[in-house]
Structure 1
Amino acid sequence: MVSSVNRRKLLKAAGVAGITAIAGCLGGDGDGGDGDGGDSSQLSWHAGGQSGTYYPLSNEFKSIVDENTDYSLQVQSTGASVANVGSLGREEADFALIQNDVGYFAANGTGLEEFEGEPVENLRGVATLYPETIHIVTQADSGISSIQDLEGTTINTGDLGSGTQVNALQILESVGITTDDFEEQNSGFSSASDQIKDGDIDAAFVVGGWPVGAIEDLATTSDISLVEVPEDVREDIKSDAEWFADDTIPGGQYGGIDEDVETVSVQAMIATHTGVDETVVEEVTAAIFDNVDELSTKADFISVDSAQEGMSIELHAGADAYFN
């Protein structure tokens, strides 16, 4: 691998010399990816809800990229994975954070109704980042102590069409609970937390790197419990969906929960599309991974060494140039 110092010099020179020439390749309709025909140095980055992990992490990436390249990331709050894949497929965003399982579904035209038989052929990977942990949250006095106890309850499975909803339905199906066996509610993490606090739902699925802000906030005002996913259920889940991995929410991450909670996770990843120029992707990737020591969000997980673990889709040529 080229040394990080030399790479930055080479890429910065290329960016200065070629920024105008590659403007039509940055995404969208040849407008540099900013969505409104503006400055070609503006790159659109789609994140997730502001109460999750994607949004604050994306803003840390923005600070790094803005400081170390000739580009500026324009971070947008979105409905996360599935919505972000759509934005990339339509080239309305240059980069986005998605889940690795949703990326696989999209690239292969399977797994989700939105993608069935219609693969997102221009979708490309950049890097995997950190485990997105499955949290199953309920009131401490709800009487729900196992996944099987969720049958017959009211559950918020996440925003409609989100990666969280996908994971929730996969996990429930693995233990024999179908959509006919519970009442489904759909909204983001903050709304789900309010529903639990107000007693409007029995449980909620939240997918994100711990600690998730919305759950932290809920635990300060309500006594909550996290439903464990025991080993036998984890094995069934992983058998049905190979992109899941074992994970643990350490005790002390949320108020009132002192013991470790066993669960499963998917991977968060950076994705882009084939319309973004190779030099742009390489420079943005280099900026982020040459400066991971500047991150505070999920800093213990994000590194060059682990950035291709769980990569579920074809790499963009610019990312491949950096990592390989």
Structure 2
Amino acid sequence: MGDHTRRRFIRATGLVSVTALAGCAGDDGGGGAEDSPTETGMDGGDETATDTESSDGGDGQADTRLSWHAGGTGGTYFPLSNEFKTVVEDNTDFTLNVQSTGASVENVGSLANGNADFALIQNDIAYFAKNGTGIDAFQDNAVENLRGVATLYPETITVVTLSDTGISQLSDLSGATINTGDLGSGTQVNANQILEAVGITDFEEQNASFSQAADQLRNGDIDAAFVVGGWPVGAIEDLATTNDVAIVPIDGDNRTAVKDAASWFADDTIPGGTYSGVSEDVETVAVQAMIATNADVPEATVETVTAAIFDNVDALTIKTEFIGVDSAQDGMSIELHPGAAAYFDA
């Protein structure tokens, strides 16, 4: 697909609308999930996965069943969300249904239409959504009810390829076939921002999950893939056990150009040894992962869930070097939900 055709396709989908992205994000996980739709916390086959439900028969007491939208099973959002599920259920009366999705942009749609009570998203996507700007999905279509809860950890931009492709710098991606992430995901947004910032316009774009991208690399169907998530990303770890992988740096003038084009990118480094066969540190950029909710979720619910997570960080195993009360507002790009504000201001 030529550059102009590719851009027309993305613009035409616009991603249609933010609510359309989440329109199918019910029990079946929606159309953008990184892997086959996966849910945890379901008690019966005929219950709605994405509605907040009351376990008291609807007598006016607070709802106790909450829907939490994560990301694909090959990334960081899904396993971390399941750790959140455990600490919330161990320390509150709430039950969390964690659902695999296409991540940030789709998750904003689910929050906007009430299909999700909480979700993990990127801080740049949150800003775009709340302000109705930045990308076609949100242009002049602000998500007014989107609220922040807490920021969590840097989401590293990883450009992964195989050693035998000969791709060692971003300029080598010109003319390549590149998986930029699920259609409508934050990964796709970031990938296209970066490629445009460094002047790469001649490439064929593929859109699939992290796990599917790893399979495409194995099979020689693509030359490189963008992955956005806290390292180590499981899909890349798995790929590195079967193939010689290479991580393409975003450094020097390229990093400067990327940061000049989008202020939410920050410097980041993937430590040597993170992935098998990649022994040296790799310079790159990152955005920030965050928990979001919508304005209609009760203040007491948000405060209780927030407290359960941040009072029990020692029960987590993923990204614990970054997750904590002291850093939970670093990079927060949208208005806090009053329940989150009540916890962090206490």
Render the CA deviation track for 1:229-258: whole Å, top value 9, x for unaligned.
112211111111011000000000101000
1:111 maps to 134
**Root-mean-square deviation over aligned CA pairs:** 1.4
Tell me the equivalent position of 1:234.
255
**CA offsets 1:23-42 (integer angstroms, 9 cap, x no match):** xxxxxxxx999527553210
Paired position in structure 2 for 1:323: 344
Separation (CA, whole Å) in 1 of partners of 2:98 and 2:185:
19
CA contact (8 A) 2:52 2:66 kept: no
Cross-structure match for 1:247 = 268
> Is it true that 1:284 corresponds to 2:305 in the alignment?
yes
Residue 124 of structure 1 is matched in structure 2 by: 147
1:49-99 deviation line (CA, Å, top 9, x unaligned) = 011000000000000000111111110110100000000000110000000
2:165 to 129, 142, 145: 142
Q: Distance in 2 between matches of 1:148 and 1:317?
A: 46
2:97 is aligned with 1:57: no
Separation in 1 of the partners of 2:141 and 2:50? 26
Map Cα deviations across residues 254-292 of structure 1 (whole Å, 9 max, x no partner): 010000000000000000000000000001001100110
Counterpart amino acid of residue 259 in structure 1: E
- Could you say which residue in structure 2 is the equivalent of 1:35? 51
Answer whether contact 1:33 1:93 (CA < 8 A) is retained: no
Q: Does structure 1 residue 81 correspond to structure 2 residue 104?
A: yes
Q: Does 1:99 align with 2:115?
A: no
Q: Aligned partners of 1:32 and 1:177: how far apart in 2?
A: 44
**Could you say what secondary structure the match of 2:292 adopts?**
strand
CA contact (8 A) 1:137 1:225 kept: yes
Equivalent position SS for 1:141 = helix
User: What corresponds to 1:205 in structure 2?
Assistant: 226
| Residue 285 (structure 2) aligns with | 264
The one-letter amino acid paired with 1:78 is T
Separation in structure 2 between the aligned mates of residue 293 and residue 52 of structure 1, nearest angstrom: 22
How many residues are aligned here?
292
Contact 2:155 2:289 in 1 (8 A): yes
Q: Distance in 1 between matches of 2:335 and 2:217?
A: 39
Does the aligned pair in 1 maintain the 2:51–2:66 contact within 8 Å? no
Unaligned runs of 5+ in 1: 1-30
Paired position in structure 2 for 1:177: 200
Contact between 1:33 and 1:43, CA under 8 Å: does it hold in 2? no
Alignment CA distance shift 1:36-1:249 (3 Å): closer
Partner secondary structure for residue 85 of structure 1? helix
Q: Which residue of 1 aligns with 2:322?
A: 301
Task: Assess if the C-alpha contact under 8 Å between 1:226 and 1:261 holds in 2.
Answer: yes
Percentage of pairs with the same residue = 68
Tell me which amino acid in the other structure corresponds to 2:298.
D
Cα distance in 2, alignment partners of residues 72 and 210 from structure 1: 28
* Contact in 2 for aligned 1:33/1:94 (Cα 8 Å): no
CA distance in 2, matches of 1:37, 1:121: 23
Whole-Å separation in 2 of the counterparts to 1:32 and 1:317: 27
Instruction: Give the residue type in structure 1 aligned to 2:242.
Output: T
- C-alpha distance in structure 1 between counterparts of 2:231 and 2:126, whole Å: 21
User: Would you identify which runs of 4 or more consecutive aligned residues in structure 1 move more than 6 Å?
Assistant: none
Matched letter for residue 254 of structure 2: V
Contact 1:32–1:42 (8 Å) recurs in 2: no
* Aligned amino acid, residue 109 of structure 1: G
Distance 2:344 2:251 in 1: 36
Letter in 2 for 1:235: T
Indicate the residue corresponding to 1:188 in structure 2: 209
SS in 1 for 2:254: helix
